Amino acid sequence: MSTDRSYAQYDIEKKSLLVAYLLWFFLGYVGAHRFYLGRPLSGFIMLALSGVILLLTVISFGFLSFLWAIVGLWWLIDALLIPGMAAGRNSDIADRLLGRR
């Protein structure tokens, strides 16, 4: 693959911080930003955790709603981790397309 095509493909595949933060803000509690940034395992764990906590909250008639603090804390910490996750993912994409490593 030519270098110009590789750079063009990189521009298509690279992950945007804006999109990542929008996903984090609106759908972060289900791990959408993690799926977008190429971290499906932790995204699925966050999705499953949110589902279990939602189920427990409904079953307990809201008495276990304090468990949402777990997801909320993870959500807030991810706000700080997103730039590094995006940079790492973009670096992996560049390495794959440009034949590095």
Domain extent for 27: 3-96
CA distance between the termini of the chain = 16
**Each residue of 6-45: pLDDT tens digit?**
888 999 999 999 999 999 999 999 999 999 999 999 999 9
**Each residue of 34-91: pLDDT tens digit?**
999 999 999 999 999 999 999 999 999 989 999 999 999 999 999 999 999 999 999 9
Looking at residue 34, its amino acid is: R
Task: Answer whether residue 101 is part of any domain.
Answer: no
Question: What does the alpha-carbon distance between residue 49 and residue 34 come to, in Å, rounded to a whole number?
Answer: 14
Query: What total of structural domains would you count in the chain?
Result: 1
Are 34 and 17 in contact by the 8 Å Cβ rule? The answer is no
Q: pTM for the whole thing?
A: 0.90
Task: Answer whether residue 46 is part of any domain.
Answer: yes
Task: Answer whether residue 41 is part of any domain.
Answer: yes
Task: Answer whether residue 13 is part of any domain.
Answer: yes
Task: Answer whether residue 84 is part of any domain.
Answer: yes
Length of the chain: 101
Question: What does the alpha-carbon distance between residue 91 and residue 16 come to, in Å, rounded to a whole number?
Answer: 13
Token digits of residue 11: 């521009």
Task: Answer whether residue 22 is part of any domain.
Answer: yes
Task: Answer whether residue 73 is part of any domain.
Answer: yes
Query: CA 22, 25, 29, 33 torsion: positive or negative?
Result: positive
For residue 1, name the pLDDT band (cuts at 50, 70, 90): low
Residue 101 has pLDDT above 70, yes or no: no
